Amino acid sequence: MKRRDFVTGLGGAAALAGCAGESEQAGTETVSQQRFRWDLVTTWPPNFPGLGTGVNTLARYIDELSNGRLQITVYGAGELVPAFEVFDAVSQGSAEMGHGASYYWRGKTEAAQFFCTIPFGMNAHEVNGWLYYGGGLELWREVYEPFGLVPIPAGNTGVQTGGWFNKRIDSMQDLRGLRIRIPGIGAEALNRVGATPVSIPGSEVFTALQTGAIDAAEWVGPYNDVAMGLHQAARYYYYPGWHEPGPALECIVNREAWDQLPDDLKAIVRVACQAASLDMISEFMARNAGALRQLEEDPSVEVLSFPPDVLAGLKAATLEVVEELAAADPVVARVWNSYTAFLEESETWQRISEQAFLQTRV
């Protein structure tokens, strides 16, 4: 009887285990079939070439990879919230996702801008290396954690141009009193040398430049600048883009919304962001060349390089700004130390790889 009871007990236990397994499997299937509808707000004009359309591509990738389980509705700047309110909207949960450039949020935390770009700093390849393999992304997550945000790299334009000016810049003196649209640490560097930085969203740049509300403006590069019509508002087009050598754009996700996603959808969002990044920088590489040719052939435009002494002065001002920020803010200091350590190692390799090779093509 004891043996029979034991065997019967085993059978019951097996049945219970089978039911538990089926229950767990059913639960997993239920979770995996959950559907989500999110709003994504951006700092870019709606459907703007390269930037706005890049966000549309990101939303499409997420929809396709998730088989419609995570659907994203994209709103350009001003359609749901103003461009410079994206950070707050996502942090507060008014929208689940946002897309923009982290230097717009320096008023929230000075460290934010370091994850986008630093004047005279790393290019797009180096920034990606730092973020994914040099500890940069982990620091970025720490910086955004108090705001209830999850940051994910999601785009890059590559090296930008120096911007449009309504007068020639032949010396540092020519920068004094200049009203120029420019964000981030580049704005502070120009302020140190006597210029007056102005912070306005991209949708307002053309009108401000055309009407004389500002004297100069940096936006992105030839592809976007032609699309914006900036060549019709100013004559002198300067390079290089000392202020944005490789700006990483961001996708920010509300932490509560993120935590509600099953693991596979989280993975899809991360992979879609990487795919959208590759797509965006590839598009800029392809489109900038043709747009630059158009500008060089335009008799009303002069494409010029900044004089060496101007670049040297701006570089000195940039280092001064960054060192002061790092001295005043321990979070900035941690990020800056990580950034510079990676940059120093990268420079050694760049000298005998990319830089050395490009010199052979001159």
**Average pLDDT of span 171-183:** 98
The answer to whether residue 217 scores a pLDDT higher than 50 is: yes
Higher pLDDT, 68 or 23: 68
- Residues belonging to the chain: 362
The tokens 């053309």 sit on which residue? 206
Q: How confident is the model at residue 33 (pLDDT cuts 50, 70, 90)?
A: confident
Q: How many Å from the N-terminal Cα to the C-terminal Cα in the chain?
A: 93
The answer to whether residue 2 scores a pLDDT higher than 70 is: no
Q: How confident is the model at residue 32 (pLDDT cuts 50, 70, 90)?
A: low
Report the percentage of the chain scoring pLDDT > 90.
91
Residue 63 pairs in a beta bridge with none
Among 14-23, 30-39, 163-172, 320-329, where is mean pLDDT lowest? 14-23
The answer to whether residue 244 scores a pLDDT higher than 50 is: yes
As its CATH architecture, domain 34-156+246-285 has 3-Layer(aba) Sandwich (3.40)
The whole-number pLDDT of residue 12 equals 44
Among 24-28, 35-39, 69-73, 147-151, where is mean pLDDT lowest? 24-28
**Average pLDDT of span 256-282:** 98
Determine contact, residues 136/339, Cβ cutoff 8 Å: yes
The whole-number pLDDT of residue 51 equals 97
Report the percentage of the chain scoring pLDDT > 70.
91
Among 4-18, 106-120, 261-275, 328-342, where is mean pLDDT lowest? 4-18
The whole-number pLDDT of residue 9 equals 45
The whole-number pLDDT of residue 22 equals 38
**Average pLDDT of span 80-85:** 97
Q: Which of 254, 225, 251 is nearest to 56 (CA)?
A: 251
**Average pLDDT of span 177-203:** 97
Strand order in the sheet with 216-217: 196-198, 179-181, 216-217, 163-165, 236-239, 302-305
**Burial, 144: exposed, middle or buried (Cβ in 10 Å; 0-12, 13-18, 19+)?**
buried
**Average pLDDT of span 323-341:** 98
The answer to whether residue 74 scores a pLDDT higher than 50 is: yes
Report the run of H or E that residue 22 belongs to, with start and end: helix 2-32
Which residues have CB under 8 Å from 106's CB, separation 6+? 112, 113, 184
The whole-number pLDDT of residue 279 equals 98
Q: What residue ranges do the domains of the chain occupy?
A: 34-156+246-285
**Average pLDDT of span 258-263:** 98
* Positions of E strands within 176-308: 179-181, 196-198, 216-217, 236-239, 248-254, 302-305
**d(C-alpha 192, C-alpha 184), whole Å:** 13
